[in-house]
Amino acid sequence: MKGKRLLGMITFCAIFGLIFATTNTLMAQKVPEKIIIGHPEGMSGTYAKAGEQAIGGVRACIKWVNQTYGGVKIGGKKVPLEYKYYDCESKKEGVTSLIERLITVDKVNVVFAPYSSGLTLAGTPVAEKYKMLYMDHGGASDRIFQQGYKYIVQTIGPGTRYHMGTLDMIRKIDPAAKRVAMVYEDDEFSRMVLKGAEDHAKKLGFEIVFNRTYPGKVTDLTPVLSDMKAAKPDIVIGGGHYEDGQLFCRQMGDLDINVKALSLVASATLPAFHNALKSLAEGVMGPSHWEYGVTYSVEGAKKVNLGWIGPSQDEFVKLFKEALGKDVIPDYHAAEAGAQVLAYALAVEKARSIDPTAVRGALGELRFMSFYGAWDVDDTGLQVGHSMVDMQWQGGKRVIIWPPEAATGKLYYPMPTFGDKAKGKMAVPK
Amino acid sequence: MIGAQLTGNLMQGLILGGIYGMATMGLSLIFGVLKVVNVGHGAFIMIGAFITLWIFTAFGLAPVIAIPVALIVGMAIGFVFFYLVMRRLIKAPELASLLATFAIGILLEEIAKLIFGSEFRGYNWAVGKIILPITVFPMSKIYAFIGSIAIALLLYIWFKKTRAGTAVRSVVEDSEGARVCGVNVGWVYALSFAIGIGLTVTSGVLLTMFIPVGINPYMGGGYTLKAFVIAVLGGLTSPYGAFFGGLIFGLIENGSYTLFALIPGVEAFAMTRFLSFLILLLILLIKPTGLLGAK
Amino acid sequence: MKGKIVKYYPLIPVYIAYLILFLIGINVSGMWQLVAMLAFYCAIGQAFNIFLGMTGYVDFGYVAFMGVGTYGMALSISHLHQVQWLGMGIIIIGLLLALVMASLLSIAVGAVALRLRGAYFAIATIGVNEGFRFLIEGAKIWGGSEGIIFSGQLTQTFGRETASLLSTLWADIFLFFIACIAAFITIYYMRGKIGYALTALREDEDAAKVMGINVTKYKIIAFITSASLAGLVGASAWALKLTYVFPPQVFEIHYTVECIIIVLLGGAGTLLGPVVGGLVYGLTKYWLTVIVPGFQLLIFAPIIIVIIVAFPEGIVGVLKRRFKGTTFKKFII
């Protein structure tokens, strides 16, 4: 009787051990002729949307490297890239354990950080411990790069720059528009944008007439927008993530707050923005790291003395749609994650090695252009080469209106009133 | 200046509060009868929002049409979950029912994500505006407000005037006593849960009439927390108490913004949230039966 | 004398489980972070169980104590890192600060919320968690919504190697310590006066009061103990390990739900329960993310519902029934 119990206990322990053992060996069969990119991305939870885009972008560019480019050249051989990703559920616990799994079990050669500054930070101690190259495609906080980390490199541009171009543009087009209202979400990323915009606006001689934040996951912005209306701004800049941006524009319309220009971070640049708001979205602008329609090309790269790599924009979009199996136009989350693959491939070729320390060194010296634009990082790993573009909704299409060298159309200014927009007026320049 | 702004905000708050109140009635009804806090509350609001979106975009019908559809769908879902899950948990400790309703919420969110994707959606039902000197109201908000008052009133009448309503009330008061008096308590549980869920799903319709954007599988979380505060304001067991709780909550949330905005160095909007939870604690401390609740 | 030791026999399986876990983490390469995650779940389960398991009160805002603890450690490192002679002392001060801040908050919460019962208590604690978070953001306390990032300061103070070890090894070892302490306290309370008092309370609070048991006193003791341990978990698993703190991430109510799931899976009010629950929960979730990335919640939610309906007493509850009257009984509670 006792023996039977004991046997039961032993079986229990054995099963327990087996779970560990299999966790360890499953998917561990590494093929030495491959370079593996690991990615603990948030596919569910708060950042599911951006996560899906990023994975699509990475897969599209890996396919391009393997099929069109023929693989990454090291030691006279062309080595294909492979992609290994898990879902961290947009939670910090998942990030640390999955990064370690990617490094030790899947033996990846580089880890791509998950979307958002917080989750990117959560993974840094583990990546640094393993001296693993850690590439950041979705953590825009400048503060990540002030911590003295050695193995982190940024592809997305720093947060402080988001609204600088918008302000430059308006300064140039309408010097009479002086009164700026800033209404941002109250979180780490948006505050970074706010701070950069605030400093830049003061430098350009704007008058900041309203400066407030709203909490995350907000469902009604009426009080803060009514307050803003009383300040009579010419220009409104603000936003935070996704739903709040839609709400922002919608409720400005509800309250009949008409301004000359409205620019919202993140949400305004996504197709969902126009799908949800229809004609109310007309004339709304947004800063973006990349937009479908940017005019970066091989010739353009030559002009500024940069090497070119990667698919053309249309090729990228095609590969992206294949990768996701959906007919959606990629947004900047996809483009920056994709460009990161190209940067890595180039750096490996430059370093002639897949050793993370060597590749990190090569990335520091690398400068190139792709469909995503220019790429250059400073000593801390902060992205300094990439410039942002500004887009505007014109007749249901996203048109790039700034900077002039990347623009695909002219700015429609001032923005039509919400009353006109509700009647179906489009912000298409004549 | 401040006066006009405060008045404008209070008027907006009243309208919003009416809808918040309506969105909490289901929670209070379920708690009153089953003594179960529906932690998955927000997920049911989300279903209502998607029903409205679907009716508007697929058939071009006014969101008002979605109200009866949402009520029927909601009640059906309510019955299903009651007989599959909740029936077995009525006598269980809080722990089990809290977790079960939370898990139901997650399940609904994930199913919605599977069907609709995680995109933020919206629709545009333009039916004009009322423009006052101090503020502006789109007609859709006014319709939503009228709708929620009408539903609250209907529920009140149902409670007071019908046999089923009286049975439900008797179970809220004393379920053992009701059983002794020959009330089919099991059926009252099922019916109340279904109506509670039906009301919550319907409130999703009204909420999208108020805010027709940001419709997404995970949109309900914020409403769940608000509903808790409102339910406590209204005494937690009484659906129409919850309705008035909502009105008060809307007034506090929007009104206090104007006042907090006068204090330098704080984020006024975040402080309004802090205030609402502070009020929640104070009420629980002083009068746990709610501002409007009986003794 | 012997009776005294026998009392603590049930700790043996718990400690053996932790030891096995620890040894696997140390010896098998690439297992440490997974083990650390499991230790995290076991520790929060164990700490949460001290209050929930013994009293039956559901503290839905439990995560607030972890959040406050995180801030304790973050504040210590970010403010005291310039004080050279403190050295490793700032970590100890951080842990102490986490302990003090979490217990102070729990005293404040306890004074208000512990007069309430059932759902009222659950909602009040949610209110505390959310209210506290919005106070931090709204009044811009401790960096407000921008939070605190202190990895740079950690590296400056201790050097790259030590800072890395602190984040990737010692923070997790602390977690094992906390889990072990929590287990010990659980059994100490269970087998002491407080355990009997709280059992009476859980069965029928009013009757316990009538019998002259000072219910409130024991409730508060259990509440503060549980909260302080949560503060320590936050200080090590969130602050020291991740080296930053953003308010929305540390006051995320989902973590309370995870605590509840763990305790309920394993068996509320048992000693071994949170360990079993933590391991089962952590491993299942990890497995699902590896096998079906993106769909784990869709699979997990119905499983939870089925478990609640079919095994409300949890895995250890079932085992306890099975082993009733055998020698194993001594080891499983």
Report if residue A369 sits inside a domain.
Answer: yes
Contact assessment for residue C240 and residue C256, using Cβ atoms and an 8 Å cutoff: no
Most C CBs within 10 A among B27, B28, B95, hence the mutation to make, goes to B95
Beta strands in chain C (DSSP E): 148-149, 244-245
Q: How much is the pLDDT for C175?
A: 93
The set of residues, in sequence order, having a beta carbon less than 8 Å from that of C309 and lying 6+ positions away, is B85, B88, B89, B100
**Residue A85 main-chain phi, psi, to 5 deg:** -130, 150
Q: Is the dihedral of CA A266, A272, A276, A277 positive or negative?
A: positive
Which chains, if any, share at least 3 CB pairs under 8 A with chain B? A, C
Q: Which two tokens stand for residue A236?
A: 């409104």
Are A213 and A244 found together in one domain? yes
**Which amino acid belongs to residue A187?**
D
CA atoms within 13 A on the CB side of B199: 32
Amino acid at A311: P
As to burial, measured by CB atoms within 10 angstroms (0-12 exposed, 13-18 middle, 19+ buried), residue C87 is exposed
- Helix extents (H) in C28-117: 32-55, 63-80, 89-113
> What is the Rg, in whole angstroms, of the alpha carbon atoms belonging to chain A?
23
Give, in degrees to the nearest 5, the angle at Cα C6 between C4 and C12.
125
* C139 and B CB contact within 8 Å: yes
A66 and A121 in a single domain? The answer is: yes
Name which of A90, A153, A96, A84 is nearest A130 in CA terms: A96
* Contact check, Cβ <8 Å, C138/B271: yes
Cα B109 to Cα A40, B57, B103, distances in angstroms: 22, 21, 10
The domains located in chain B, with CATH, are: 2-286 (1.10.3470)
Interval A377-430: pLDDT, tens: 998 999 988 888 899 999 999 899 988 878 889 999 899 999 899 888 899 988
Residues B85-134 pLDDT 10s: 998 888 777 788 888 999 999 999 999 988 988 888 998 888 888 888 88
Q: What's the pLDDT score for residue A28?
A: 36
| Strand A397-402 with A389-394, pairing | antiparallel
Distance CA A275, CA B213 (A): 10
d(CA C266, CA C285): 15
- Cα angle B97, B103, B105 (rounded to 5 degrees) comes to 105
Reported ipTM: 0.90
Looking at the predicted structure, is the pLDDT value of residue B295 above 50? no
CB contact at 8 A, A228 and A236 = yes
Strand pairing category for C244-245 and C148-149? antiparallel
pLDDT class of C291 with cuts at 50, 70, 90? confident
* A207 and A255 in a common domain: yes
Q: Are residues A276 and A302 in the same domain?
A: no
- Asked if the structure places residue A29 within a domain, the reply is no
Partner A, chain B 92-131, Cβ-Cβ below 8 Å: 110, 113, 118-124, 126, 129, 131
Under 8 Å between Cβ of A101 and C30: yes
Q: What H or E segment, with its residue span, contains residue A235?
A: strand A235-239
The domains of chain C, with CATH numbers, are: 2-330 (1.10.3470)
Q: How many domains does chain A have?
A: 2
Tell me if chain B has a CB within 8 Å of the CB of A224.
Answer: yes
What pLDDT is attached to residue C3? 61
HSE value, Cβ hemisphere, 13 Å, CA-based, for B245? 33
C19-37: per-residue pLDDT in tens?
999 999 888 887 888 999 9
What are the angstrom distances between the C-alpha of C251 and each of A141, A191, C50, C67, C130? 21, 19, 21, 6, 7
CATH number (domain holding residue A243):
3.40.50.2300
Q: Residue B77: count other Cβ atoms within 10 Å of its Cβ.
A: 19
Confidence at residue A282, expressed as pLDDT on a 0 to 100 scale: 94
| Backbone Cα Rg of chain C | 20
Of the listed ranges B183-192, C1-10, C183-192, C276-285, the one predicted with least confidence: C1-10
CA atoms within 13 A on the CB side of C176: 19
The answer to whether residue A425 neighbours chain B at the CB level (below 8 Å) is no
| A17 in a structural domain | no
Tell me the per-residue pLDDT of A2-41, one tens digit each, with 9 for 90 and over.
455 555 555 555 555 555 554 444 433 333 478 999 999 9
Same domain? A151 vs A185:
no
Q: Which residue of C has its CA nearest to B286?
A: C112
Instruction: Report the SS3 class of residue B137.
Output: strand
**pLDDT at residue A395, as a whole number:** 92
Q: Is C112 on the interface with B (CB under 8 A)?
A: yes
Q: What percent of chain A has pLDDT over 90?
A: 51
Asked whether residue A303 falls in the same domain as residue A277, the answer is no
Contact B5/A at CB under 8 A: yes
Half-sphere exposure of B104 (CA within 13 A, CB side): 25
Q: Is C1 helix (H, G, I), strand (E, B) or coil?
A: coil
Q: Which residues of C touch B229 (CB under 8 A)?
A: 127
Distance between CA atoms of A43 and A51, rounded to whole angstroms? Answer: 5
Residue A10 lies in a domain: no
Task: Tell me the C-alpha distance between A312 and A372, whole Å.
Answer: 9
DSSP track, A2-66? HHHHHHHHHHHHHHHHHHHHHHHHTT----TT-EEEEEEE--SSTTHHHHHHHHHHHHHHHHIII
The residue from A336, A351, A375 where one domain ends is: A375
Q: Which of A370, A275, A382, A270 is nearest to A330 (CA)?
A: A270
Residue-wise pLDDT for A46-72, tens only, equals 788 889 899 999 999 999 999 999 989
Pair (A197, A151) in one structural domain = no
Question: Is residue A242 within 8 Å of A389, Cβ to Cβ?
Answer: no
pLDDT tops 90 at residue C54: no
Cβ-based burial of C110 (10 A; exposed 0-12, middle 13-18, buried ≥19): buried
Q: A182 with A274, same domain?
A: yes
Hey, which chains touch A, using 3+ CB pairs under 8 Å? B, C
CB spacing of C293 vs A146 below 8 angstroms:
no
Coil, strand or helix at A430: coil
Contacts of A219 in chain B (CB under 8 A): 211, 214, 222-223, 226
Query: Which amino acid is it at B114?
Result: L
Task: Note whether A393 and A267 are same-domain residues.
Answer: yes
Mean pLDDT of C197-217: 82
- Pairing between strand A152-154 and A134-136? parallel
User: For the segment B149-169, what is each residue's pLDDT rounded down to a tens digit?
Assistant: 999 999 999 988 998 888 888
And the tokens for A273? 């923005």
pLDDT by residue (tens digit) across C87-142? 888 999 999 999 999 999 999 998 888 888 888 888 889 889 999 999 999 888 99
Single-letter code of the amino acid located at B15: I
User: Which of B277, B282, B287 best probes binding to C when mutated, by most C CB atoms within 10 angstroms?
Assistant: B277
User: CA nearest A204: which of A178, A230, A239?
Assistant: A178
Domain extent, residue A92, equals 35-157+294-375
Q: Residue A29: what pLDDT?
A: 33
Specify whether A242 is located in the same domain as A352. Answer: no
C-alpha Rg value of chain B to the nearest Å: 19
In a domain, A139, yes or no: yes
Considering the domain architecture, whether residues A323 and A415 belong to the same structural domain is answered as no
Based on the fold, state whether residues A148 and A47 are members of the same structural domain: yes
Do A126 and C297 count as a contact with CB atoms less than 8 A apart?
no
Q: What is the largest CA-CA distance in chain C?
A: 60
